[in-house]
Amino acid sequence: MASDTERLFPGKFFISTALEALEAKTAMSKELTVRYLQRAGIAGVLIAIFYGAYFSTVATFAAIQVGGTSLAGVGKLLGALVFGWALVFIYFTKSELLTSNMMVAAIGVYYRRVRWGRALRMLALCLLGNFLGGLLLALLLKASTLASGPVLVEMEHAVGVKLGYLTAGPLGWSDLLVRAILCNLMINVAMLLVYNGFIKDDLTRSLAMITAVFIFAFLGLEHSVANTILFTVVGLKSGIDVALAAGNVGIALVGNFVGGGVLIGLYYAYVNDDSRFRA
């Protein structure tokens, strides 16, 4: 029979799992920095590959006409499902993704397992590793035709939309911020389901992650790492306004931290804090 603590704080297992993950991440980022960067790099590589598959899917269906109407919407739907697998691959390869680490870092700070300085160092190294992995794929794509023709057109269109938030003024900035908040809220809701101990099988865990990424990709939410990689690919292929791209990533980083670090990490850390109850 469940104790009063278990009934009142059902997320304690989730918190303990997140804290265990934090301990490994902070130790590796400090003592095995190169290995940590490599694990973050793999996450960047996987996002680049699956994001490329997303745009390839959209481009393929956009070229199909049925009754004079393009099937671009179908391509976006299927592409979002394909991209959803990126988080599954990252999770099961034990790679390091910045946006889910935001949640873990915030929980660790709340429970005083890590100071903000060390947590931010871990997140900064993760961002660097994600970028380097994406840069590697961007360089490979530059030397191939995989990101050219209709696929490149779709990528450039996406970049135009994302940079348009910056040129639209304060309303565009707030739009970008809200999209970034909701993006990482969904990503970390999925990780909450994965870590909470209630889901016992890998298939359901995978479906939770696929669904979360599908929602963010299909709705056009803003993911700082995915945006960084997209900007790098398009920048190397056809050029990009670096200042606007940096502005987009900066706002997306803030929004992603609010969505994952605050609304999921700090919120669930607080609602599952039984220290006063035990006292």
């999770």: which residue's tokens? 91
User: Residue 210 carries which side chain, given as an amino acid letter?
Assistant: I
Look at residue 2 and tell me if it is in a domain: no
- Can you give the pLDDT at residue 1? 42
pLDDT in tens, 3-30: 556 666 666 788 888 888 888 888 888 8
Look at residue 214 and tell me if it is in a domain: yes
Average of per-residue pLDDT values in the chain: 92
Look at residue 32 and tell me if it is in a domain: yes
Look at residue 237 and tell me if it is in a domain: yes
Look at residue 277 and tell me if it is in a domain: no
Query: Domain range spanning residue 224?
Result: 7-272
69 forms beta bridges with 66
* CATH number of the domain encompassing residue 145: 1.20.1080.10
pLDDT in tens, 40-93: 999 999 999 999 999 999 999 999 988 778 898 999 999 999 999 999 999 999
For residue 100, which of 248, 176, 208, 244 has the smallest C-alpha distance?
208
- Can you give the pLDDT at residue 28? 83
- Can you give the pLDDT at residue 272? 85
pLDDT at position 256 over 60: yes
Could you give the percent of the chain with pLDDT greater than 70?
95
User: Residue 41 carries which side chain, given as an amino acid letter?
Assistant: G
The total number of structural domains in the chain stands at: 1
Span 270-278, average pLDDT: 76
pLDDT at position 2 over 60: no
Span 140-167, average pLDDT: 95
pLDDT at position 104 over 60: yes
Look at residue 172 and tell me if it is in a domain: yes
- Can you give the pLDDT at residue 12? 78
pLDDT at position 163 over 50: yes
Q: Which of 49-86 are b and which e, b meaning 16 or more Cβ less than 10 Å from the residue's Cβ?
A: bbbbbbbbbbbbbbeeeeeeeebbebbbbbbbbbbbbb
Look at residue 230 and tell me if it is in a domain: yes
